Chain A
Amino acid sequence: MNNTLLIIEDNEQNYYLMRFLLEKNGFKVLGAETGKKGIEMARQHQPRAILLDIQLPEMDGYAVATVLKNDPELQKIPIVAVTSYAMVGDRERILAAGADRYIEKPINPETFVSEIQKFL
């Protein structure tokens, strides 16, 4: 069973936190620092799910989600937006762009992994 998760996140500490928690719970974690690289890796590795930050350099999370959901090979992969954007409409815009779930930062380390597992 595919146990690989792709995290697209430019903040090193946040990436490390998620990766640490997920690996502790038996997931294989891949990481990409930009949206472009993330799409590439998704195509290459076909992960079980993609954890997507929104504020990214060059290509933001909305654009990434749009590309992924419009690619026939990739559109089946669930996207979980993990973001600090908490303004009104952020959640709606992200879901509209193709994300399947929305987790607000800061994450709760005690419940984070179980939330991901529930979704898969």
Chain B
Amino acid sequence: MDFLMKQCLLLIALLMVLFSVVPSAGAESRVVTVGVYENPPKIFTPDKTDTGEPAGIFIDIIAYIAEQEGWDLKYAPGTWTEGLDRLAAGTIDLMPDVAYTASRDQIYAFHSVPVLSSWFQVYAAKGSNIHSLLDLNHKRILVLDRSVQHDAFLQLSQGFDLDFTLVSVPDYHTMFQTVAAGDADAAITNSFYGVMNAKKFGLHDTAVIFSPSNLFFAAPKNQSKHLLPAIDRHLSKLKNDSQSLYYQSLRHWTAEPVRFRLPEWVKITGIGGILLILLSLGSGLLLKHQVTVRTRELETANHTLRASEQKYRDLVMLANSIILRFTPDGRITFLNEFGQKFFGYDATEILGRQVVGTLVPESETTGRDLRPLLEDISRNPKKFERNVNKNILRNGDRVWIDWTNKMIADENGEIKEILSIGSDITPRVKNEIKIYQLNEALRQEAEILEQRVAERTAELREAKEQAEAADRIKSAFLATMSHELRTPLNSIIGFTGVLLQGLAGDLNNEQQKQMTMVQTSARHLLALINDVLDISKIEAGQLKVEAKPFGLPSAIEKTVKIVSPLAEKKGLQLKLDIADTVDTITTDQRRLEQIMVNLLNNAIKFTDKGQVALYCRKENTQYVITVADTGMGLREQDLEALFQPFRQIDSGTTRKHDGSGLGLSICKKLLDLMGGSISVESTWGEGSRFTVRLPVHPEE
């Protein structure tokens, strides 16, 4: 190439010298300033060491035209954008290699016959895997500042939803350098630059080819326009002659350097053909690339569409829902696989059949007629967007299905088809029914129970009333009995006493002994009557206890004195221990004495040897009176019932001891009324301890 270039430059230089010396006749000599920038092979400054004159296809052509027209060419080097600015400002007359665009047409003037046709192409580093437009996603792409390809590329990529970074760079050389260095992924250049330089930078051309454009010389809008028709005229001629300078220049700047010299005639005849082949090859390649790219893009789109279609198909066919489509007159047009399996029909069996009579029974078991269901749906689609009804399987089983229905209407609003998606809710409904039944059963049960409770309450109330009435009768009876028993007892005890006193004359020893027995029996009978009377009084709530202060020690001493003859008689030691702190008590003296006499009598009664002791001490706000004996004691199982009425231990015919069996229960009831308590500890065969606790002063 160097050789060819030099040869050419030499020729140009010679011609220029020749024409500057001998201007052609009839041509007005004038200075034409041409902008120059670096865009080999179209236009560039070859080597600083050389003449510094620009070279390239555009330069060859304009130099030829200038020679023909007698223009004096001047070159104004700069960058692409500087050139455009200068042209707009009118400081240069022509800017080479300007692609025609509508927007540029507003600013600059263009001639009509294109100098070159070009396209833009994306170049990337070898092995980068960038081949098509889609490969540019997420890539850093370099583009010439303020160039047509900038806008064109954005327009091209718009429909593909790509995400890339477009970086503006002042010249192609920098672009290729940057991509080669790996600082960017791709560069957009025109085809001429790419073809010339890609290999040098280790880049390859991609299939991304776009915006074929025509390249011209541009002139300022308001001046130098007269240069443009001359350019057109010469270009037309040059392009028509395959051996013209135009084709020579193309061949010269775009071909690979030739290793061997061809004879001149071969060169000359070959160039045109080769160029034609190249051009057709180029455009063929261009088309092929475009087809490839388009095919790829279409394939991608198709793939996406197919995938989404497949997804829909899968969804419909494999969904765990019944998907059913039918016409408004009830003809089934579609039932998905799940639905087929669920209902027990093959597609061939069910498609085209009526919904009612196959999937929908003619009537529900509730008696609801389902035949007009479809009419209802068509008449009021809104109401049937959600519909729960009974369906029937092929085997006759009835199922509950929750349907979501979508009416598919045509442009006139006429319902064309109904799409129903259903879920089997039979287990849920069955459970609900079961729950309802259980609830109902429970409710009935509860009602029965409530009624029973009411009945029982009434019965109990009645029983209570009866018991209370019986109690009142019992109390009245006891009071009467007590009175009626006392009256004869008065005579028995009275006359016995009179006789024993000798008031009715002397008695002999036997008479005395027997009358004493009558007296003892009569007194016992009286005690019994008194106890019964006490219990009935207490139980009838008729017994009131007094609360008056008195000296507790003297009351205790008095009771001990009452029982001491009995203890003496049995040879028992009667021990009394009253603590110094024991003083006044506020309670019912007569009843407290009755309790203590009772406890002491019991202790003496059930003790055959040893002692009976009464201890009294003060504990905080209460007095504790303990009656302890060394008698027979009590069995554990008997302790609980000890304070119940009529519960003398060993009751029945084996009873050894006298007594009503009421004493302890009277004591307990009296102490309850007095705000006190009684408890017992005992060991069988070793003795008992009865403990009475009474407040020093009763609570208000």
On whether A21 and B526 interact (CB within 8 A), knowing A13-B491, A84-B482, the answer reads no
Query: Is B491 a contact of A17 with CB atoms below 8 Å?
Result: yes
Instruction: Tell me, in angstroms, the Cα distance from A41 to B494 when the chains sit together.
Output: 26
> Which of the 9-residue segments A42-50, A57-65, A69-77, A103-111 touches chain B?
A103-111
Residues from chain A with Cβ under 8 Å of B542 in the complex? 87-89
CB of A17, distance to nearest CB on chain B (Å): 4
Q: Which residue of A lies closest to B494 (CB)?
A: A17
Residues from chain A with Cβ under 8 Å of B482 in the complex? 84, 86-87
CB of B253, distance to nearest CB on chain A (Å): 146
Residues from chain A with Cβ under 8 Å of B347 in the complex? none
CB of A94, distance to nearest CB on chain B (Å): 13
Residues from chain A with Cβ under 8 Å of B533 in the complex? 86-87
Query: Is A24 a contact of B495 with CB atoms below 8 Å?
Result: no
**Pick from B486, B494, B501, B503: contact of A84, CB under 8 Å:** B486
On whether A105 and B487 interact (CB within 8 A), knowing A20-B503, A87-B537, the answer reads yes
Query: Is B501 a contact of A105 with CB atoms below 8 Å?
Result: no
Q: Which residue of B lies closest to A109 (CB)?
A: B497
Query: Is B503 a contact of A105 with CB atoms below 8 Å?
Result: no
Query: Is A85 a contact of B490 with CB atoms below 8 Å?
Result: no
Interface string of A1-41 (1 = CB under 8 A from B): 00000000001011001001100100000000000000000
Interface residues on B, range: 20 to 34
Residues from chain B with Cβ under 8 Å of A14 in the complex? 487, 490-491, 494
User: Which of B128-172 touch A at CB < 8 Å?
Assistant: none
CB of B578, distance to nearest CB on chain A (Å): 30
On whether A55 and B483 interact (CB within 8 A), knowing A106-B526, A110-B497, the answer reads yes
| Chain B residues touching A, majority SS | helix
User: Which of A77-112 touch B at CB < 8 Å?
Assistant: 84-89, 105-110, 112
| Chain A residues touching B, majority SS | loop
Q: Which residue of A lies closest to B526 (CB)?
A: A106
Query: Is B490 a contact of A106 with CB atoms below 8 Å?
Result: yes
Residues from chain B with Cβ under 8 Å of A13 in the complex? 488, 490-491, 495
On whether A24 and B503 interact (CB within 8 A), knowing A14-B487, A17-B490, A17-B494, the answer reads yes
- Count of chain A residues near B, Cβ 8 A: 21
Q: Which residue of B lies closest to A15 (CB)?
A: B491
**Pick from A87, A88, A105: contact of B490, CB under 8 Å:** A105
On whether A107 and B494 interact (CB within 8 A), knowing A20-B503, A88-B544, the answer reads yes
Query: Is A105 a contact of B537 with CB atoms below 8 Å?
Result: no
CB of A92, distance to nearest CB on chain B (Å): 10
Query: Is B479 a contact of A87 with CB atoms below 8 Å?
Result: yes
Instruction: Tell me, in angstroms, the Cα distance from A55 to B487 when the chains sit together.
Output: 10
CB of B535, distance to nearest CB on chain A (Å): 13
Instruction: Tell me, in angstroms, the Cα distance from A13 to B501 when the chains sit together.
Output: 18
Query: Is B487 a contact of A84 with CB atoms below 8 Å?
Result: yes
The answer to whether B489 has its CB under 8 Å from any CB of chain A is: yes
Q: Which residue of B lies closest to A89 (CB)?
A: B542
**Pick from B487, B503, B537: contact of A11, CB under 8 Å:** B487
The answer to whether B543 has its CB under 8 Å from any CB of chain A is: yes
Query: Is A109 a contact of B486 with CB atoms below 8 Å?
Result: no
The answer to whether B498 has its CB under 8 Å from any CB of chain A is: yes
On whether A109 and B494 interact (CB within 8 A), knowing A24-B503, A87-B479, the answer reads yes
Query: Is B487 a contact of A108 with CB atoms below 8 Å?
Result: no
Q: Which residue of A lies closest to B482 (CB)?
A: A86
The answer to whether B255 has its CB under 8 Å from any CB of chain A is: no
Residues from chain A with Cβ under 8 Å of B501 in the complex? 109-110
The answer to whether B680 has its CB under 8 Å from any CB of chain A is: no
Highest count of chain B CB atoms <10 Å: which of A86, A106, A108: A106
User: Which of B76-135 touch A at CB < 8 Å?
Assistant: none
CB of A109, distance to nearest CB on chain B (Å): 3
CB of B303, distance to nearest CB on chain A (Å): 110
Chain B contacts to A: CB under 8 angstroms: 479, 482-484, 486-495, 497-498, 501, 503-504, 526, 530, 533, 537, 542-544
- Please list 29 pairs of residues, one from A and one from B, whose beta carbons are closer than 8 Å in the complex, sorted by A's number: A11-B491, A14-B491, A17-B491, A20-B498, A20-B503, A20-B504, A21-B503, A84-B482, A84-B483, A84-B484, A86-B482, A86-B486, A86-B533, A87-B537, A87-B542, A88-B542, A88-B543, A88-B544, A106-B491, A106-B492, A106-B494, A106-B526, A107-B490, A107-B494, A108-B493, A109-B493, A109-B498, A110-B497, A110-B501
Q: Which 8 A-B pairs have the closest CB atoms?
A: A109-B497, A84-B486, A106-B490, A13-B491, A17-B494, A105-B490, A84-B483, A88-B542
